[in-house]
């Protein structure tokens, strides 16, 4: 069954690890399955990481992201908040790539995928229809993961040693890892540590990630802000803004509001 049977209200999500050679470019396999009791679509919003996804999606009503499903889709990096109107019931099986991983796997830029959802055949070419059918026929998520990895392995074999030797991808991965450290609030020290200029870092991030390095850095710091406020800390928002590298409280408030949807002061109050 593609989604839970009628009469049951369900929301289940999880992840499975990816090991072996594909772990160079794939971060993890994930899934979500739901049936809600609302008579109309339910809007789900997520503050995303700077990654791309390959998904196989099915939904009662046959539409997700404005596209007909069941289908295999590629989701590019989302620069604001990922928003989807979930129909009554559905299921998604997904592969999350490391930042830059899809670009390294395919040997092409992913910048044109930013803020886009496209049919997987536009990105991966032949074989997508068979892959989609295999995932939809599979009954458990470990098998769905293995089916997806088998499909991607053919692309990894095609690229072969080029992925391992991709210095641009390696630089991007190192830079993104450094950005995860809350102490990093500007690009210059990161570029210095990965031994490239800021201009080179910008060029690499455009190709491999689909956004600027400053955007990725700011996304990490905004996630830190949310974590801090969720923990009941950050009472002094001006101090928090400075700690996270924003020029002042006003810049922090604008960035937070644009991504989260409400100012940090309202978010802190649960408003």
Q: Is the pLDDT of residue 1 over 60?
A: no
Name the token pair of 138.
């599979």
73-101 per-residue burial string, b: 16 or more CB within 10 A, e: under 16 = bbbbbbbeebebebbbbbbbbbbbbbbbb
Q: What confidence tier does 270 reach under pLDDT thresholds 50, 70, 90?
A: low
- Given this model, what pLDDT does residue 170 score? 95
Structure token digits, residue 61: 């009503």
Encode pLDDT of 219-260 as tens digits.
Answer: 999 989 988 988 888 889 999 989 988 888 898 898 888 887
Whole-number Å distance between alpha carbons of 193 and 141: 39
For 93, the token pair is 């099986």
H or E element, residue 3: none
What digits encode the pLDDT tens for the residues 78-115?
Answer: 987 777 777 888 999 999 999 999 999 999 999 999 99
pLDDT of residue 47: 67
> pTM for the whole thing?
0.90
User: What does the pLDDT look like over 142-177, one tens digit per residue?
Assistant: 999 999 999 999 888 877 778 878 999 999 999 999
Residue labelled with tokens 């390095």: 213
pLDDT tens-digit map of 31-78:
999 888 776 666 666 667 889 999 999 998 888 888 999 999 999 999
CATH topology of domain 167-268: Arc Repressor Mutant, subunit A (1.10.10)
What residue segments make up the domains of the chain, in order of their start?
A: 10-161, 167-268
């Amino acid at each position: 069954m593609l989604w839970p049977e009628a009469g049951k209200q369900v929301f289940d999500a999880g992840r499975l690890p990816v090991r072996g050679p594909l772990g160079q470019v794939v971060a993890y396999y994930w899934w979500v399955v739901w049936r809600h009791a609302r008579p109309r679509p339910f809007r789900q919003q997520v503050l995303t990481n700077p990654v791309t996804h390959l998904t196989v999606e099915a939904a009662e009503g046959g539409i997700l992201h404005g596209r007909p499903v069941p289908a295999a889709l590629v989701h590019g990096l989302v620069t604001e908040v990922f928003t989807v109107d979930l129909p009554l019931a559905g299921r998604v099986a997904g592969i999350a790539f490391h930042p830059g991983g899809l670009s390294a796997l395919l040997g092409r830029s992913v910048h044109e995928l930013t803020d886009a959802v496209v049919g997987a055949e536009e990105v991966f070419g032949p074989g997508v229809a068979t892959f989609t059918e295999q995932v939809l026929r599979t009954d458990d998520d470990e098998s769905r993961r293995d089916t997806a990895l088998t499909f991607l392995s053919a692309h990894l074999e095609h690229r072969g040693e080029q992925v391992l030797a991709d210095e641009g991808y390696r630089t991007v991965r190192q830079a993104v890892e450094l950005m995860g450290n809350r102490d990093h609030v500007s690009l210059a020290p990161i570029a210095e540590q990965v031994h490239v200029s800021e201009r080179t870092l910008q060029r690499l991030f455009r190709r491999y990630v689909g956004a600027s390095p400053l955007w990725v850095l700011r996304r990490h710091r905004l996630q830190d802000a949310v974590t801090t406020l969720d923990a009941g800390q950050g009472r002094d928002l001006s101090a928090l803004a400075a700690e996270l590298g924003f020029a002042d409280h006003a810049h922090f408030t604008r960035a937070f509001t644009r991504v989260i949807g409400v100012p940090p002061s309202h978010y802190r109050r649960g408003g």
